[in-house]
Amino acid sequence: DRRRAGDGARRARAMATAGADVDDEDAVARDATRGATREGDEGDGAAAEAAAAARDATAPSEVEGQTLPMRVLDEYEFRDKFAEGKAVSVHGSRPNRVLVLGRARKLEGGEHGLPSEVLAAPLTLQDKPPHALKLMEVHDWTIKYGGDEPELWLVTPRAWYKLLNPAPRFEKYVTVTTRRANFTNAIVRALVKNWELSLEEGLDIILGVPVVAHDVPVAVKTPTKAAKMLGDTTAEAQKEAALNGCTEEEIRESKDTSAYKYTHADIVGDGFFIVSQIETLVRCKALRPPTASEEDDVPAPQFLTALQTWTTEKHQLGSATKASRLERDRARREKLRAEKKAEKESESKPRVPRLEPPPPASPILPEYSHIGPHLQAELLTLWDFAQVFASVMYCPRSTLERFAKAFFGSDLGAAEATLLRDFMVSCLRVTEGRIDSIDQETIRSAPTRARWWDAPVLGLNDIGELDWQDRANNLIVEFQMGVNARMRKPALEAVAKLDKGEVLESFSPVHRIALAVALSSIALESETIREYFTEIYDDVRARRRTGDFHSNPPTLATEVPEPTEEKKKETSKEINVKDENPEVVDDANESVSMEVDETDASEELVKPPTLADYRREQLMKWKSEAVERAVISRGKPVAVDEQGRRYFALGGTNNAGRLFVETAPPGWYDGDENAASSQVIDGVEYPKQPMAGPPVEDAPFSEDAANTPDCRRNVSGLVECASRWGVYTPGTVEYDALSYWCNPKYDNERYITKLHRLMSHAVDGDADAPELSDDDRRKKVEILSETLAMDGYANLDDVALGSVDDAKLTSRLFNAVKFILHSAPFWRTGDMRWIDRFIRTCTHFESALNASEQSLVRLLKVLPGIEIVCAQAGLMDDVAWLDAKPTWLAQLRYYVFGPRTEAELEGTTAAPEVSEPIPGINDILAAPELLDPLPPLTVRRAANLVNQFLRFLVQDPQRMSQGAFQMCTGVSHGVGAINTGEVVAVIKRGLVKTYNRYVDKKSRPRNWIDVNTLRPVERCVVLGTAYRGSEAPRRNAASDGDTPPCAWLMCLLLDDPELSQFPSTRRQSADAEQADAKEAKDERRLIIAPLYAGGDIAEYVLPWSKYQEVDEKPWDGGSRIMMHFEGVDAENEARGIVSVDGCVYYLGRVRKVRSSPDRWETVMVVFDSDPEDYMWVSPWEIIAAPEKYHDPVHEGPAPVDHERELSPEDMTLIAQCKAIARRLGWPSGDHRRDFDKFRAEAFAGGVIPQAPIFCGAQMNLHRVFIEAMHLGGYEQVTRCKFWKVVARTLGRDLSTQTSASFAMRKYYEKCLFPLEKYLTSAEMIENLGIVIEASTDPMDRFPASRPATDFDDDDDRVDDGDDDDDMDDEDDADGMDVVDKKKKEEDADDYKISDDDFDEDDPSDSGESDSDFKGR
């Protein structure tokens, strides 16, 4: 501080002048004090020391030539000296850490004149243009007060600079300094006039200062903080005062901050700065009363002391201690508590009763009026349970009408039978808690469509659908005490009927309901439901604490709210500085000529939704949270009116806006028979509030459950005692009447009115649409309500219930067992003995599966082999299974060989012989005998036997079936359609690349054939298929995400090694001893091929017949193709996504085809959706696009007759071509936009050819076209052999090009000839306004168009002896590139592959594709 004060005194002496005016003296005094020059050193003591030094110093007289020059600096910017691209604010930076940019100008007399003379007169700029400056060393800056506007000066070692206007982009960085200087300057001018200025007068003067550009008052930015500092006002009052009668939106749109007004809060923030500046000016005697002289001791003005005291008090209010804040908060809470208590007392005051009853409701199920209230109440409970827990139960959602038909109807269809089955099976699965009944990929999303018996098998749950009756019988008998008393007896009767073989569809409504109630009651106590409930409950509670979840319907929006803007961190702006002018202004190397440019990024504005759209969004969001509301409410009513009716929102997301109303049975409410029948309110006697009657009229019923003897009270939700139910459906008169009857001021009825408004106004049109009548609104609301409910069983309405028979059920059981067998982990074992048993078991099972008539007995024969395969693979719970296995085998023996005879039991007769060596068949023969006979063998019994050993199978949620794999990945073709026994082609490159990407080397079995010994293409037969869900990545994997679902194929090589016809043969061992040993891996010749969904690696396993079709249908460049991608289900023809035969494809074009022995990824395709990018695909992955998506065929040029004389029509055409050339910019080359527009029109409906590569550079099609047209067009240029002349106009070196003219002509025919035909048509000639007189010679009309006579031979005939047209047509069709022999050899070497060649990250792979493409 002492050093800076000394510097300030020195600079003051250098600037001091004899006889300077008051303003000059003020400037000298201010420059001598740090308090008046730097805002960052407020109150640091340096100001007093500097002032004393200035007073004591003897100011020398000005000496001409020894003073610093005085200049001005405009469009200035302050930058960080150590990061020149970073702008810094003036008030928050130090001089030694900044550099200043700007445009400097010199003053008249400012370079050599005395400062007193220069400052005495108005500053005049020299008549010279400004030059860019970069001030690297800045000593300090100072502010000059007293004028109309304060002035900011800065000093460098070589000059003084008066700062004029900041650069536009720097204005916001000087806002604080400008505001503080304006405040201080206003007070200085006022004190000069009135030294006895009071605090109130001074504050009013400061409040009259206009708001600085880009500045926002504190009361607008943080009104709460402003009110807190002042203490005697509110945030709203402060903000209203700062807005000055305007709205914040108006000021933001106009970007005029002068409409704001400063408040006292802004003065509090800058008060200490004002005090420091004025105090320094007074001490230096630069500011004194008008009557005082320089020698007088001037006392500080009273305003200075008052402002300092006032500012201190306000800052103390803003930074109050924690105790003070707690005291204020406590007082505020007490005030709110008192207000709330008064409000509650007013509400608790008896209200005038509403004697009018609520409007009657509609019966919930009018078509089932014969069903009593007990069963209807149970049905509502079951329906609500099924819809709320649909995700965890994995059942399609259904409407109440469909659900009621399934349980109450008599003539059931396939949809209702499936609904009953799904509900029962889901309850059993949830109770058993087997998480792999449905794999983890499939269960992530609830199904939207019901599955009939002919649907593909998805998992173990499909077996459970076949024998659920037996498991339900055991479960209900074991846990019957958990079922409510009213449903317990009919539930036991129902399972007894199931045990007799009766079908569920034939049961009475009582038994159907009782069976469902029993299973759902047991399922509700399961761990699966408890975990799901806890997860939803905890999530809702967390969202409720943050305000993201509300139980009541949202308030109907009256306007579209503005999107909330995320708080952006204030970061310094990075500015690029470029030295564009090498000229340096000689200012002792201080200032450098430079130019600053910056590009401001503009955010794309998103069109806000209309009010009608926003209201629909409110409704859909409310609907999506129905499950969470049902879980958090725990069955409580959503509303209770004043007359005792309770309203429920049942059905989860399938509620569709309906309100189910319940009237409690007698005895539900506490009642005092001796209570008074009237009440007195405000001195007036009113009758007591009546309790409402039933919502619907009583109707006789013929079927109901037995009533319970007890009637439990204070039970929330649907209770065991039956009550009468009604429903209010949106779009009905009753629904509207209920809303009008309810009192929105009553909390328990506000839910109903808000829901009604939300549903009624969700059908409103746009603002300019006419208002709907009541009838029209009800119709639209009714349609809306119907669309909100989802019926996942509607797809089975046309399916006949009798369309399934035992043969289909047997086939389904076989496919489910096949899924279990092939899910054994054959892909990760090296035990060839296990592999041998697995293959033999698969062979016997496939034989039984593919038999003309599938036999359940043959299936049971194979089951022990499957059990052994699973047990040896470690998939069984051996301890528990050891006790259950003998009984299971005994049951298998009973059905396979029948009960033992007496002779067999005595041992006198041998056991029956088995002709087939089926694995595990001896275990069946050795099984013990059952004591009791078993019922006949049916599909249900066979499925139960399968389930008996599946219960002991280790749970594996990643296990998937083929149907689940297709459904989860969208892959219904390719690998998703390959079945066992199919002959396929395996591409070695794809197999190696997949291993390197996904399969760790340590996990690969060592006994399998080494993939490096394979041919490029192997013909194999598939022995096993296993599908797996996504897994966590391996430790050293490149990707952090989970691996996608995968299909594992076990394939057997069909071709012997010595029969190879490919360049890279399988290596053979020459060791005779190894050949005699016959190792298992050489005998088996098995390979494992994993195929991962996702499309990262092209399909490399495909049917052999499909692979052979590639030779029959080769692809050519330019062919229109389409390709199917996974997960795409919506067409968009504008982007090249079309639907053909129910499948969605991407349209594209073949760009290039390369040769390869395996044909894998040899076709370069450019898709219409992304024409800037390309993809290498395999030829079998694409198919030809339909004819309507092909490009229009443009007629090529006709052969040119060189001997024919030109006719008048030819001369006219030549003249037209020359006129078109001038119209399109010949010879200057402008009008490129017109050329592009006409070319797009000429190729309308097709793909515009891209500019080819000519002589190593992209051809300028515009230049080629206008030159060829100016020479007369295609026919004239060809006739006169001018193509090389056209080629020379591109400025390329043609000395080494032997076929430049031929290539130019071919390129013109492909890319430009259709444009010539289009522009020379009669219609376009007329549109272009070209008029040609037939008698005019084109060469005379355009004399400058004749080519030079000394041109080279440009003949395109084949018999002229030159070689300028001897080019292969194949090269022309492939883009006219000349590929030398060395390049071909390098391409051939690329296909000599190894393990390292197929790492996808290897730069050689990508380099090969890129170079080929760019060469084109």
Q: Give me 1160's structure tokens.
A: 């894998």
What is the predicted pLDDT for the residue at 413? Answer: 92
* Mean predicted confidence (pLDDT) in 397-424: 93
Q: Give me 1045's structure tokens.
A: 């679902």
Which residue did the predictor score with more confidence, 767 or 431?
431
Which residue did the predictor score with more confidence, 1229 or 1245?
1229
* Mean predicted confidence (pLDDT) in 208-225: 86
Spell out a b/e string for 548-569, using b for 16 or more CB atoms within 10 Å of the CB, else e.
ebeeebeebeeeeeeeeeeeee
Whether the pLDDT of residue 375 is over 70: the answer is yes
Cβ-contact 957, 461 below 8 angstroms? no
Eight-class DSSP state of 1119: -
Eight-class DSSP state of 397: -
Q: Rounded to an integer, what distance in angstroms lies between the CA atom of residue 793 and that of residue 396?
A: 7
Q: Which residues contact 1222 (CB under 8 A, 6 or more apart)?
A: 1270
Q: Residue 66's pLDDT band (boundaries 50, 70, 90)? A: confident
Cβ-contact 705, 510 below 8 angstroms? yes
Q: Considering only CA atoms, give the Rg of the chain.
A: 46
What is the predicted pLDDT for the residue at 338? Answer: 85
Residue 574 parent element (H or E): none
Q: Which residues contact 858 (CB under 8 A, 6 or more apart)?
A: 848, 851
What is the predicted pLDDT for the residue at 810? Answer: 93
Whether the pLDDT of residue 1356 is over 70: the answer is no
* Mean predicted confidence (pLDDT) in 955-978: 82
Q: Rounded to an integer, what distance in angstroms lies between the CA atom of residue 634 and that of residue 541?
A: 13
What is the predicted pLDDT for the residue at 1267? Answer: 92
Q: Residue 1168's pLDDT band (boundaries 50, 70, 90)? A: confident
Q: Residue 594's pLDDT band (boundaries 50, 70, 90)? A: very low
* Other residues' Cβ atoms within 10 Å of the Cβ of residue 517: 24
Residue 1193, helix vs strand vs coil: coil
Give per-residue pLDDT as tens, 876-919. Answer: 888 889 899 999 999 999 999 888 877 777 776 766 777 778 88
For residue 1001, with 0-12 CB atoms within 10 Å meaning exposed, 13-18 middle and 19 or more buried, which class applies?
Answer: exposed
Give per-residue pLDDT as tens, 834-875. Answer: 999 999 999 999 999 999 899 999 999 999 999 999 999 999
Q: Rounded to an integer, what distance in angstroms lies between the CA atom of residue 997 and that of residue 1092?
A: 10
Give per-residue pLDDT as tens, 1315-1333. Answer: 898 899 888 888 888 877 6
Q: Among 284-288, 471-475, 933-937, 1342-1346, which stretch is predicted with the lowest mean pLDDT?
A: 1342-1346
Q: Which residues pair with 876 in a beta bridge?
A: 953
Helix ranges (H only) for 1078-1167 are: 1080-1084, 1104-1112
Q: Rounded to an integer, what distance in angstroms lies between the CA atom of residue 1234 and that of residue 6?
A: 71
Q: What percent of the residues of the chain are helix, what percent strand, and what percent coil, each to the nearest 5?
A: 45, 10, 45
CA-closest candidate to residue 1274, choices 1300, 1309, 1301, 1243: 1309
Q: Rounded to an integer, what distance in angstroms lies between the CA atom of residue 1352 and that of residue 438?
A: 78
* Mean predicted confidence (pLDDT) in 617-626: 90
* Mean predicted confidence (pLDDT) in 69-93: 88
- Report for 767-771, 791-795, 1300-1304: range of highest mean pLDDT: 791-795
Whether the pLDDT of residue 1407 is over 60: the answer is no
Q: Rounded to an integer, what distance in angstroms lies between the CA atom of residue 464 and that of residue 960?
A: 16
Q: Give me 973's structure tokens.
A: 């073709």
Which residue did the predictor score with more confidence, 717 or 893?
893
Q: Residue 1073's pLDDT band (boundaries 50, 70, 90)? A: very low
What is the predicted pLDDT for the residue at 117? Answer: 78
What is the predicted pLDDT for the residue at 19? Answer: 30
Q: Which residues pair with 986 in a beta bridge?
A: 1018, 1101
What is the predicted pLDDT for the residue at 1095? Answer: 67
- Report for 506-520, 997-1011, 1053-1067, 1161-1175: range of highest mean pLDDT: 506-520
Cβ-contact 77, 87 below 8 angstroms? yes
What is the predicted pLDDT for the residue at 1372? Answer: 38
Q: Which residues contact 765 (CB under 8 A, 6 or more apart)?
A: 612, 772
Kindly report the three-state secondary structure assignment for every residue of 142-189: EEECCCCCCEEEEECCCCEEEECCECHHHHHHHHHHHHHHHHHHHHHH
Cβ-contact 1390, 1155 below 8 angstroms? no
Give per-residue pLDDT as tens, 720-762. Answer: 456 778 999 999 999 999 999 988 878 888 899 999 999 998 8
* Mean predicted confidence (pLDDT) in 1281-1286: 90
Q: Among 359-368, 1146-1155, 1201-1210, which stretch is predicted with the lowest mean pLDDT?
A: 1201-1210
Eight-class DSSP state of 85: E
Mean model confidence pLDDT for the chain: 78
What is the predicted pLDDT for the residue at 7? Answer: 41
End-to-end CA, the chain? 71
CA-closest candidate to residue 986, choices 1109, 825, 1165, 1106: 1106
Q: Among 214-228, 641-655, 771-785, which stretch is predicted with the lowest mean pLDDT?
A: 214-228
What is the predicted pLDDT for the residue at 730? Answer: 93
Residue 1046 parent element (H or E): strand 1046-1053
Backbone angles phi, psi at 1134, to 5 degrees: -65, -30
Looking only at Cα atoms, what is the longest distance across the chain? 145
Cis peptide before 1227 (omega within 30 of 0): yes
Q: Rounded to an integer, what distance in angstroms lies between the CA atom of residue 259 and that of residue 1012?
A: 79
Residue 1139 parent element (H or E): strand 1137-1140
* Other residues' Cβ atoms within 10 Å of the Cβ of residue 65: 6
Q: Which residues contact 1312 (CB under 8 A, 6 or more apart)?
A: 1239, 1261, 1264, 1265, 1268
Cβ-contact 115, 99 below 8 angstroms? no
Eight-class DSSP state of 1312: T
Eight-class DSSP state of 609: P
Give per-residue pLDDT as tens, 1080-1104. Answer: 444 568 888 998 887 678 889 999 9
What is the predicted pLDDT for the residue at 1063? Answer: 41
Residue 454, helix vs strand vs coil: coil
Which residue did the predictor score with more confidence, 378 or 1350?
378
Backbone angles phi, psi at 98, to 5 degrees: -125, 160
Whether the pLDDT of residue 45 is over 60: the answer is no
Q: Residue 685's pLDDT band (boundaries 50, 70, 90)? A: low
Eight-class DSSP state of 932: S
C-alpha separations of 785 from 380, 729, 740, 1364 in Å? 19, 8, 20, 77
What is the predicted pLDDT for the residue at 820? Answer: 92
Whether the pLDDT of residue 1370 is over 80: the answer is no
